[in-house]
Amino acid sequence: MTGSPTALQRIADAADRHPERACLIVGDDLLTHADVDRLSALVGRGLVASGIGRGSRVAVLSPNHLLVMVATLGILRSGATWIPLNPRDSIATIAELCARFDVNVVIHHSDFTDAVTEIRMAAPTVTETIVLDGLVQWAASCDRSSVLTEPLPDDLAAVFATGGTTGTPKGVCYTHRTLSAIVGNYVEMLDPDPAFLAAGPLTHVSGRATLGVMAAGGTTVVLQRFEASAALAAIEQHRVTTTVLPTTMLNRLVAHPAAGTTDTSSLRRVWVGASPVPIELLKRAIAILGPVVTQNYGQTEAPMYVTSMQPDDYLIDGRFVADERMASCGRATRFSRIRVIDDDGADVTTGEIGEIVVRGNFVMDGYLDDEAGTLATRIDGYHRTGDLGKLDPDGYLTVVGRLRQVVITGGFNVYPAEVEGVLAERPEVYESAVIGLPDPEWGERVVAVIELNEGIDYDPDDLQRYLRARLGGVKTPKQLLVVDTLPRNANGKILKRLLVEQFTES
């Protein structure tokens, strides 16, 4: 690949510069940059020796573990496509994604051994499963003479699962060219010799950020699961400089009794995003952690570089700026160009609400096997985010709503149509509307407003159990609200805006 170095080249160069520096730390276990380089090459050769390479699709299904990023790099080095799966999703959802994305191999933690049978039944393209805990031993047993070749710029590097307004999961595609840009952007954003706390799943934002930290020659401290006490202890012990926290984790961190006494002076950046952050939470976090909070705006299709609210943007002469500015997600980054447009694609005037569109080297290459869906997100060289926002005279963007009715809870996207589809399976449910309501812990909480069928018993606890089994913990509504009649317009369409207004006020 000519031009800018690839993500793999950046990470390999960092390993050459800092071979003995800690790369990944999980609990008492540690891998140096040299270790990760050696083991990921071993995994890559093992995959190639097994007939898995360019054109293959390999999923990783695991809670946070020392070998998740080794597996990820091994997949990329083999030339195959990396497909991270959310371990918090229901097994039915995971199986559906494997089928939809034509996954060939699943590298899974041993906790998911029983689930693999269900996955293989639903996804006949899966021809091999490899236990992550034994990945190194598996790779060592393969032919080690296999040759690793540098992927081509337009080869498919990764597919990230998301949902759709119809409830059908979509695959967000990144070629090696785009993934290289994403990793390179992270390197530019990081301080020298970064120490990064991966507090969230490595199959989500924390995993992409970790690739950037690797390329910068830094150290990533991985929490196996988020607990505020563990996060604070890790920040102090490992002198963490950077972390990414969705609203729910930030809230738990600063609310912990030890937050005020733990030494967090090493922090330079606490990237916050993925859901609306209450102004009072921002103020409390800045008061406790110092002027290090950086609110970034992005989405899976255009990750976290769209705009950024820098620490200095929150304060003037040591005092907080006006709440209207505090509610902003900042200005366009050096990697992006943004506009706010009307229904005809023309720029709206300053302060007027319209759809946010963005362009940059980090924007997705398209949706997997969905040309029409991809084209629908593009206008005049920009990506249509589906979010509604407004720009002030100084270029600060405020997100005010969404065209695509996505609920962002705890940093995860939940698409109402998917939840509504499962609710429709139940005989007691006549119709439902799934909305997001403000929540101090989760940013937004998933709420199902239900109109019941007459004459059928309704047991909310039974319905919750059913939903959790079908949807998993993230997508299951935290509230079930029953109404006599859902509000509709003249065409019979449910007016969710009125429901949000009604239950936000109540």
218 in the same domain as 158: yes
> Does any domain span residue 247?
no
447 in the same domain as 412: yes
| Residue 240 tokens, joined | 């963490």
> Does any domain span residue 234?
no
What does R_g of the chain's alpha carbons equal in angstroms? 23
- Chosen domain end from 384, 402, 420: 402
> Does any domain span residue 487?
yes
> Does any domain span residue 239?
no
| Residue 504 tokens, joined | 């936000």
> Does any domain span residue 233?
no
DSSP state of 143: -
Query: What is the CATH classification number for the domain harbouring 326?
Result: 2.30.38.10
What is the rounded average pLDDT for all residues in the chain?
A: 92
| pLDDT per residue as tens digits for the range 450-460 | 999 888 999 99
C-alpha 439/C-alpha 215 separation (Å) is: 36
- Chosen domain end from 386, 402, 418: 402
C-alpha 432/C-alpha 494 separation (Å) is: 9
What is the tally of structural domains in the chain?
Answer: 3
Closest CA to 215 of 189, 235, 241, 247: 189
314 in the same domain as 204: no
C-alpha 132/C-alpha 396 separation (Å) is: 44
- Chosen domain end from 208, 225, 242: 225
| pLDDT per residue as tens digits for the range 125-157 | 999 999 999 999 999 999 988 889 889 999 999
Closest CA to 200 of 252, 261, 245, 255: 245
| pLDDT per residue as tens digits for the range 336-389 | 999 999 989 999 999 998 899 999 999 999 999 999 999 999 999 999 998 888
| Residue 191 tokens, joined | 């301080």
Q: How do beta strands 81-85 and 57-61 pair?
A: parallel
423 in the same domain as 358: no
DSSP 270-295: EEEESS---HHHHHHHHHHH-TTEEE
> Does any domain span residue 284?
no
Judge contact between 159 and 368, C-beta under 8 A: yes
216 in the same domain as 107: yes
What mean pLDDT comes out for the span 55-71? 97
pTM, two decimal places: 0.85
Residue 166: the pLDDT is 37
Query: What is the CATH classification number for the domain harbouring 183?
Result: 3.40.50.12780
389 in the same domain as 453: no
339 in the same domain as 442: no
| Residue 196 tokens, joined | 């990064």
422 in the same domain as 364: no
415 in the same domain as 386: no
Q: What SS3 class is residue 399?
A: strand
| pLDDT per residue as tens digits for the range 208-248 | 999 999 999 999 999 999 999 999 999 999 999 999 998 88
C-alpha 203/C-alpha 72 separation (Å) is: 10
DSSP 157-213: EEEEEE--TTS--EEEEEEHHHHHHHHHHHHHHSPSS-EEEE-S-TTTHHHHHHHHH
Instruction: Give the confidence band of 424 by pLDDT, cuts at 50, 70, 90.
Output: confident
C-alpha 178/C-alpha 466 separation (Å) is: 40
| pLDDT per residue as tens digits for the range 122-131 | 999 999 999 9
Residue 168: the pLDDT is 66
**Segments forming the whole domain that contains residue 450:** 407-505
CA distances (Å), origin 484, targets 142, 427, 432, 487: 63, 16, 11, 10
